[in-house]
Chain A
Amino acid sequence: MKTTELAIVGAGPAGVCAALEAASYGVKVTLIDRDDEIGGQLVKQTHKFFGWHEKSAGTRGIVISRNLAGSVEENASICFMGSTEALGYYKDDGVLLLETPQGIEKLKSGRLLIATGACEKMILFPGNDLPGVYGAGAVQTLMNVHGVKPGDSVLMIGSGNIGLIVSYQLVQAGVKLAALVEALPGIGGYAVHASKIRRLGIPIFTGYSIKEAYGTDCVEGAIIWQLDDNWQGIAGTEKDLNVDVVCLATGLTPLCEFLWQAGAGMAYVPALGGFVPLYDENMKTTVDGIYVAGDVAGIEEASTAMAEGRLAGLAIANSLGKVSAGEFLEKRRVSLEELEQLRAGPTGKAIVEGLAGLRGQMGKRVSV
C-alpha cells in the first residue's frame, strides 16, 4: 500500500493552495482529483476575481488555475494523481480507496485534507428532470471548457453570484438570456455583477420563480410566476418563455460524503449550504488528522477557498512538527485575519453568523 504524509482529495483552489503551503514546509503531498487537470472549478471561471490585489484579485479564474497548476507541477514535494476518483475512506485504518487509470489503489496518509468542493442544489418544479434543465456549473463546463453552447435561449434561476456570472458568460458565448428569476425580493449576488447583465438588457425578475419546464423529450419552454409572501405562486402572473435551457443557480451544497464516512461531527447550517463539518481554527475536523478547506467547509467564494487552503496547509505542516511555534502562530493570525476581512462586508454577514454557530457546536462537542 502506498503511503504519504498528506493526502488531499480535490485539486481545486482550496486543495491546491493547501498542497503548496504544506509542501513549502517540506510535507510530502499526494494531491488527488478525478479530473485530469488541476484547478477544479477554476478552469471554467472566465471572470476576474475580487479580493486583494496581491492575492490574484483582478485575475481571471482560468489564469489563476493555470498559475496554480504550474506551481504544483514544478513542486517536487507534490505528487498529483489526476483522473483518479477517491471512492471511499476506511476510518479504522485511515485508508483512502482510489480508482486510478491503472486500477484500484489504496493510500494511507498521516493527514487527510478533504477539499471536495460542492455540488448544485436541485429545486422542485414539474419538468425539472427534462434534458435542457442544467446546473449552472454544467453550463459553464460545456461552454467555457468544451466550447459548446448549451442551447439557444436560457432561463436562469437564481441571482446569487453564480447565476449572475453565468448569465453574463452565456451572452459572451453568444447565447440569448431570456430572463433571470430570483425567488427572494432582492438580488443575492454582488451588485456589480447584476449591473453587468442589466446593461445587456437581460430582465431580472425578483420575487419570481419557475412554475414549470415543459417539452416532450427536452425543454421547449418554461413558465415563470410571481411569488406571494408565503412563497406560493400567484395565479395570473405567469409568463411563458420560449427557452430551450433552464439553468439552475439555486445554490450549492458541500460534497461531504468522506466526512460522514470518517465519522466527523457535522452540523446543518443553511447559511453555509447544508450539512457542513465542524472544524476549528486550524481547519481541523472533530476527527484527528482530518482537515477541511474550501466549499466543503461551507459555501463561499473561491478567494476564501484559497485562503482556507493556505491555512489548512500551514496547520497540517505544523501538526507534523515542520513549523516553528512562533512562525505558525503569526502566520495563522494573518490567515485568520484575512478570512475575517473577506467576510467583513454586508454580503459576508450570513456566513459569519453561520460559522459562529458552527464554532459554538464545535466547542460543545469537544468538551463532551
Chain B
Amino acid sequence: MESSEIRIKQHPILDFPERRKVRFYWEGKELLGYEGEPVASALHAAGIKVLHKSMKEGRSRGFFCAIGNCSSCLVIVDGVPNVRACTEKLRAGMRVEMQKGVGPALISKE
C-alpha cells in the first residue's frame, strides 16, 4: 500500500494538519515520518507492521495496545533495546531496528 493512502486526509470530525516531516531509518532504510508522532504510527504509515520477533519461537509481533500497556512493539532505537514503538516519539535521524527476543545487551559507549 502507498504510504500516502494510509494517512487520513479527509475526516468528518477531525483535522490532521500537516506537520514537519523528518527522515529516520528502519533497519537501515530511510523513511519519512512526522516529528513527534509515535515511532509505531510512522512505521505503520510506511507499511511496516512487523516490529519485533518473539523470544522463544521468533514469531512476528506488531503493535497491539498503542498506549504503552503491552510489550508487543518493543524495538531498538539508536542502539537501546526494549523501547516501546507506540509511545516513543519520532525524532529526525532516529535509527530504529526490529528487536529479536530480549534484544542486545545495552553496552555503554566508550
Interface residues of A (CB under 8 A from B): 34-35, 46, 60, 62, 85, 119-120, 129-135, 137-139, 141-144, 146-150, 152, 172-174, 217-218, 255
Contact = CB atoms under 8 A, between A and B. Distances in A.
A135 B14 contact: no
B59 A129 contact: yes
Contacts, number: 91
B6 A138 contact: no
A147 B16 contact: yes
A137 B67 contact: yes
A107 to B, nearest CB: 20
B50 A218 contact: yes
Contacts of B69: 119, 255
B82 to A, nearest CB: 14
A132 B103 CA distance: 22
A174 to B, nearest CB: 6
B7 A147 contact: yes
A149 B49 contact: no
A159 to B, nearest CB: 21
Nearest to A135: B65
Residue of A130, A137, A141, A147 with most partner-chain B CB within 10 A: A147
Nearest to B13: A46
B37 A133 contact: no
Interface residues of B, number: 36
- The B interface, classified by DSSP as helix, strand, loop or mixed, is loop
B63 A144 contact: no
Residue of A35, A60, A173, A255 with most partner-chain B CB within 10 A: A173
A46 B16 CA distance: 14
A35 B87 CA distance: 8
Contact of A173 (B11, B40, B54): B11
B41 A132 contact: no
Contacts of A147: 7-8, 11, 14, 16
A131 B61 contact: yes
Interface in B1-49: 1, 5-8, 10-14, 16, 37-38, 40-41, 44-45, 49
Given A148-B41, A152-B1, A131 B51 contact: yes
B13 A172 contact: yes
Nearest to B43: A148
Contact of A34 (B6, B13, B68): B68
B66 interface: yes
B81 interface: no
B8 A138 contact: no
Contacts of B50: 131, 217-218
Contacts of B1: 152
B64 A143 contact: no
Contact of A148 (B7, B64, B70): B7
Nearest to B40: A142
